[in-house]
């Protein structure tokens, strides 16, 4: 007689998934607020959609992942930081249009589910949500045997925020003479990791636990530095009208992200050396003899967010940021051109 085959025989453990879900529910509840209308475990998450304080509320949504930074998490066994990275990256993407986050959904997929690993990832997600005033409203944990390498997983995040239509930041007011203020990154954030891993682990032959004097830490620790959220530093400026445009510096670096928020007929000149570049970028450039143009197209080079404002408002923006303990650097200006970036 043929043995009775179970889902577990196919590589999926319902019991392990249920154990993880119970812990995830507690993490999600820690992010709930008065607008949360459902519990984790329902088929859909419900959120109060009334915005009486806004004349014309506009929902802003975005989705992203953390790329091959996950490979560094696998190498080091540190999994909570990538969840926080995920929330911060998505928060910055909608912040660019002036939106504040409302709720977040996550997706975690793996070959064989390790409850401890998944819970660690979601712990980072919930921490990021709390820091950004965002509800972890729901998500999905998928166990797909044979689809992922042993011990590996993938994550994606989905965020929804809101902004009053009259306060949307769209770059339409950007004009010649406006200044660019750079807010520093903590490192690579979540971009350029395919090249970074090739340089550190293949070309140089380092391990994640290799300590480099130039970095002041191990390679793994340097590469896992968090993707910062700029919501708290910029929130007090969103409704003032002083911010003409924001650019989240992700894949493509300054060269490709700043033009995304420029109106026709404008370009920017960015002055080399006008902001401090973290050592990790210099180490990578030296390892692979990487051209400056390639570095700027691949990495953020130490800039996480760019604020464009009038020259008359720049001092007020810097004062606001400084009052919160945030550094900023005047790195360039808007000129006439065809929506490009010139490094001068």
Structure tokens at 278: 């973290």
pLDDT of residue 76: 96
pLDDT of residue 10: 57
Classify the phi-psi angles of 262: left when phi > 0, otherwise alpha if psi is within -120 to 50, otherwise beta. Answer: beta
Name 332's bridge partners.
180, 270
Check if the beta carbon of residue 157 is closer than 8 Å to that of residue 105.
yes
Structure tokens at 6: 């179970």
pLDDT of residue 99: 97
The CB-side HSE value for 337 (13 A sphere, CA atoms) comes to 15
pLDDT of residue 9: 56
Q: Write the DSSP string, 19-33.
A: HHHHHHHHHHHTT--
Closest CA to 24 of 91, 112, 105: 105
Check if the beta carbon of residue 335 is closer than 8 Å to that of residue 176.
yes
Check if the beta carbon of residue 36 is closer than 8 Å to that of residue 47.
yes
pTM: 0.93
Residue by residue, pLDDT tens for the chain (344 residues) are: 566 645 565 565 666 667 777 888 898 899 999 999 988 878 889 999 999 999 999 999 999 999 999 999 999 999 999 999 999 999 999 999 999 999 999 999 999 888 899 999 999 999 999 999 999 999 998 889 889 998 899 999 999 999 999 999 999 999 999 999 999 999 999 999 999 999 999 999 999 999 999 999 999 999 999 999 999 999 999 999 999 999 999 989 999 999 999 999 999 999 999 999 999 999 999 999 999 999 999 999 999 999 999 999 999 999 999 999 999 999 999 999 999 999 99
Helix, strand, or coil here: 270?
strand
Structure tokens at 114: 């390790």
Residue located via tokens 């812990």 = 23
pLDDT of residue 38: 87
pLDDT of residue 43: 84
């Amino acid at each position: 007689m043929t043995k009775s085959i179970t889902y577990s025989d196919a590589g999926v453990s319902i019991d392990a998934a249920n154990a993880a879900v119970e812990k995830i529910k507690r993490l999600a509840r820690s992010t709930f607020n008065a607008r949360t209308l459902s519990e984790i475990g329902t088929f859909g998450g419900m959120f109060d959609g009334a915005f009486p304080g806004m004349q014309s509320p506009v929902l802003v949504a975005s989705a992203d992942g953390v790329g091959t930074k996950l490979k560094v998490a696998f190498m080091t066994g540190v999994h909570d930081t990538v969840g926080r990275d995920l929330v911060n990256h998505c928060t910055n993407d909608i912040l660019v249009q002036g939106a504040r986050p409302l709720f977040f959904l996550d997706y975690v997929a793996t070959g064989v589910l390790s409850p401890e690993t998944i819970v660690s990832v979601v712990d980072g997600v919930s921490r990021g949500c709390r820091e950004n005033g965002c509800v972890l409203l729901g998500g999905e944990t998928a166990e797909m045997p044979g689809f992922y390498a042993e011990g590996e997983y993938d994550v994606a995040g989905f965020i929804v925020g809101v902004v009053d239509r009259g306060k949307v930041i769209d770059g339409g007011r950007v004009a010649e003479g406006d200044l660019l203020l750079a807010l520093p990154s903590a490192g690579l954030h979540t971009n350029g990791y395919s090249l970074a891993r090739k340089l550190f682990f293949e070309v140089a032959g380092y391990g994640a636990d290799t300590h480099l004097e130039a970095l002041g830490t191990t390679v793994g620790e340097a590469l896992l530095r968090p993707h910062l959220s700029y919501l708290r530093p910029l929130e007090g400026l969103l409704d003032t009208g002083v911010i003409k445009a924001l650019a989240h510096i992700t894949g493509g670096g300054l060269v490709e992200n700043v033009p995304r928020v420029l109106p026709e007929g404008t370009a920017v000149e960015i002055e080399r050396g006008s902001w401090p570049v973290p050592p990790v970028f210099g180490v990578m450039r030296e390892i692979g003899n990487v051209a400056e143009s390639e570095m700027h197209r691949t990495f953020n080079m130490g800039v996480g967010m760019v604020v464009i404002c009038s020259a008359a408002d720049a001092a007020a923006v810097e004062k606001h940021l400084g009052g919160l303990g945030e550094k900023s650097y005047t790195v360039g200006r808007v000129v006439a051109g065809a929506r490009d970036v010139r490094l001068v």
